[in-house]
Amino acid sequence: MPAGRFYGGSTSSTSSSGRFLGGTGGAGINMREQFRQILEGDGSLLQQQGHYVVYRRFDLDARSNYWSNDEYKESIGGPSWEYEDEVHLCRYQQITSGGLVRFFEQETQGGIIHVNYRIYYLKHSVAPKREDFIYEINWDDHSVSPTIGQLVLPDEDKYNINDIYPLRGDKGRIEFYACLCRREPVKT
């Protein structure tokens, strides 16, 4: 058997064109670093491709002040759970129909209701959870990270995390996350 991929020789292999094919270390691609460079830029050729969002992380062990312990057991005027807001760089992909989204579309007598979905890509350090929120924010200078105190969170650009896909590299290490998110309807 030839030395190379999984044959007991080198732990990594390249094709004849020099592209990396796989392996378990050594000369492999550091996907965390590649993803960071996509989001932040590399300081020379690659411009910043990420944009800032606010990630709202709920603490499902702590009820908020808005929670009512009366017979209805509901929150009034705010979220049911305590939360912390965090600012993160991310990328997203808009999904409007077909693929995974067709399972979420709702059929009514008037036709199919299309729901606005996005896949957000977040760094491995974010560790997203289902039912947390991502808020799109207006921040003109993406070369400088905003602080929470500088931001107003618009309800019309709020996305609920429905599912999380950890994207893994060598030895199962999480390199970054893809989160399927549904735009929350604006309540009037």
Q: Is residue 18 part of a domain?
A: no
* Alpha helices, H only, the chain: 31-40
Q: Is residue 125 part of a domain?
A: yes
Q: Hunting for tokens 């830029």 — which residue is that?
A: 41
163 vs 76, higher pLDDT: 163
pLDDT given at position 102 = 61
Per-residue pLDDT tens over the stretch 35-53: 999 999 887 777 888 999 9
Q: Is residue 166 part of a domain?
A: yes
pLDDT given at position 112 = 64
pLDDT given at position 11 = 39
pLDDT band at 187 (very low <50, low <70, confident <90, very high): low
pLDDT given at position 9 = 36
Q: pLDDT above 90 covers what percent of the chain?
A: 36
Q: Is residue 85 part of a domain?
A: yes
Q: Is the pLDDT of residue 13 over 50?
A: no
Separation of alpha carbons 129 and 166, rounded Å: 11
Token pair of 91 as six digits: 């990328």
CATH code of the domain in which 58 resides: 2.40.10
pLDDT band at 71 (very low <50, low <70, confident <90, very high): low
Token pair of 85 as six digits: 């807001």
Q: Are 83 and 57 in contact (CB under 8 A)?
A: yes
Give the predicted TM-score (pTM) of the model: 0.74
Q: Is residue 135 part of a domain?
A: yes
Mean predicted confidence (pLDDT) in 59-68: 85
Quote the number of domains for the chain: 1
Domain span holding position 107: 50-183
pLDDT given at position 55 = 96
Q: Is the pLDDT of residue 76 over 80?
A: no
Q: Is residue 108 part of a domain?
A: yes
What's the angle, vertex CA 160, arms to CA 81 and CA 140, rounded to 5?
105
pLDDT given at position 103 = 62
1 vs 161, higher pLDDT: 161
Q: Is residue 29 part of a domain?
A: no
